[in-house]
Amino acid sequence: DTAVSQTPKYLVTQMGNDKSIKCEQNLGHDTMYWYKQDSKKFLKIMFSYNNKELIINETVPNRFSPKSPDKAHLNLHINSLELGDSAVYFCASSRGQGNTGELFFGEGSRLTVL
Amino acid sequence: QQPVQSPQAVILREGEDAVINCSSSKALYSVHWYRQKHGEAPVFLMILLKGGEQKGHDKISASFNEKKQQSSLYLTASQLSYSGTYFCGTENIGQGGKLIFGQGTELSVKP
């Protein structure tokens, strides 16, 4: 029973397209995150939500729009994809709010923009 | 502000020890350590919350020097399973909820 699950695991698409990645956690956590890991393995925080409310928006281009319909789900929609968006996107969750506790990561979604 | 890890890469023989360092230019509330194996998600190792705190996790332990804004991860008697990329993550005082990861240290343990 996967704690944090993301779909799809792989996306290959053309520049200019729009794509979405979905994330669900069954841990009962209040906070969810999106991290981007580039080809050099740099893990960069993008967004965090606490109980459906946006807490962190880390100067991400507005082509990226997160949506949290409820505290167990955090989706990421990306418009007008660019080559530089190619990366692995990790969803994560943690208990509580304020300071970050243990992060539970999903398996990642590898996005390739051609 | 991204913490800086050193070294960038380490190659060990089974049974050898290693130290990975993490330093920040800003006052820290906490330091986190994660390990990521190739093609997998990062996995939590430990959090250090107090200055001078030390924690242990099997043969992996860590220290946090609040005054120096540094943390070190100690891997003793390394096993093949320790191979992977180790990331420290830091939370600055006043920026709770924002975990910033270092660039990673790639550890390879050979038989």
Interval B26-35: pLDDT, tens: 988 899 999 9
Q: Which domains does chain B have, with CATH numbers?
A: 4-110 (2.60.40.10)
B88 neighbors B32 (Cβ within 8 angstroms): yes
Nearest by Cα to A89 from A14, A2, A3, A23: A23
- The alpha carbon of residue B15 is apart from the nearest alpha carbon of chain A, in Å, by 27
pLDDT < 50 positions in chain A: none
Q: What is the pLDDT of residue B76?
A: 94
The hierarchical CATH code for the domain A4-97+104-113 is 2.60.40.10
* Subunit contact A99:B96, Cβ cutoff 8 A: yes
First to last CA, chain B: 37
Chain A: residue nearest B46 by CA? A102
* Subunit contact B98:A100, Cβ cutoff 8 A: yes
Q: What is the pLDDT of residue B10?
A: 97
